[in-house]
């Protein structure tokens, strides 16, 4: 389950959210809270994430600098700097909200952009808090957008502002 509070100012987004997941056969139960800020074109500037498991709490901080480089400070307070193949967006597993970032930035929800778009993203896996480069593909479909990521291949529907309404198998807005 995810709950997000979003503040819009033009293409800028400030979002405060929480993801809660029950234990599964592969992952423990966890809660993750985040704070996201984008720039004036909707590209990610900063993501702060706090992961809470039964036995510990860990933080992750990701920021994109003026040169387009990403600074990642992990839960062990180690900092790394990488280009992530020119990625402008972050995607967090278990969160439909983060899929709205490239949809909005590329105006796909308004009929703009190409029929199919493959983008590099800074990909955050939960509950591990691992960060890696991945590609996500969005394809315009009659009833939404085809989405192909490392963990899913589905069709999502969006509202007039480009935010996810339904992500089959993961979430539906209520």
**Domains in the chain: boundaries:** 2-172
Banded model confidence at residue 76, pLDDT cuts 50, 70, 90: confident
Q: Distance between CA atoms of 84 and 93, rounded to whole angstroms?
A: 17
Q: Distance between CA atoms of 151 and 162, rounded to whole angstroms?
A: 21
| pLDDT (0 to 100) of residue 123 | 97
Token pair for residue 57?
A: 């709490």
Q: What is the pTM of this model?
A: 0.91
Total residues found in the chain within this entry: 174
- Please say whether the beta carbons of 30 and 21 come within 8 A: yes
pLDDT at 75 over 90: no
Token pair for residue 73?
A: 């400070």
Closest CA to 125 of 17, 27, 42: 27
pLDDT (tens digit, 9 = 90+) per residue, 90-113? 999 999 999 999 999 999 998 877
| pLDDT (0 to 100) of residue 171 | 84
């Amino acid at each position: 389950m995810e709950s997000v509070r979003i503040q819009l100012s033009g293409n800028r987004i400030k979002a405060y959210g929480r993801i809660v997941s029950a234990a599964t056969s592969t992952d423990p139960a966890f809660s993750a809270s985040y704070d996201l800020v984008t720039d004036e074109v909707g590209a990610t500037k900063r993501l702060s994430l706090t992961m809470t498991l039964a036995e510990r709490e860990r933080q992750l901080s990701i920021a994109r600098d003026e040169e387009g480089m990403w600074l990642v400070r992990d839960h062990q307070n180690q900092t790394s700097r990488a280009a992530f193949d020119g990625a402008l967006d972050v995607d967090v597993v278990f969160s439909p909200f983060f899929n709205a970032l490239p949809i909005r930035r590329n105006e796909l929800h308004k009929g703009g952009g190409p029929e199919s778009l493959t983008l590099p993203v800074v990909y955050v896996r939960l509950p591990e808090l691992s960060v890696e480069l991945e590609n996500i593909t969005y394809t315009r479909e009659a009833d939404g957008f085809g989405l192909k990521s490392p963990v899913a291949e589905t069709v999502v529907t969006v509202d007039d502002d480009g935010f996810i309404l339904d992500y089959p198998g993961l979430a539906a807005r209520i």
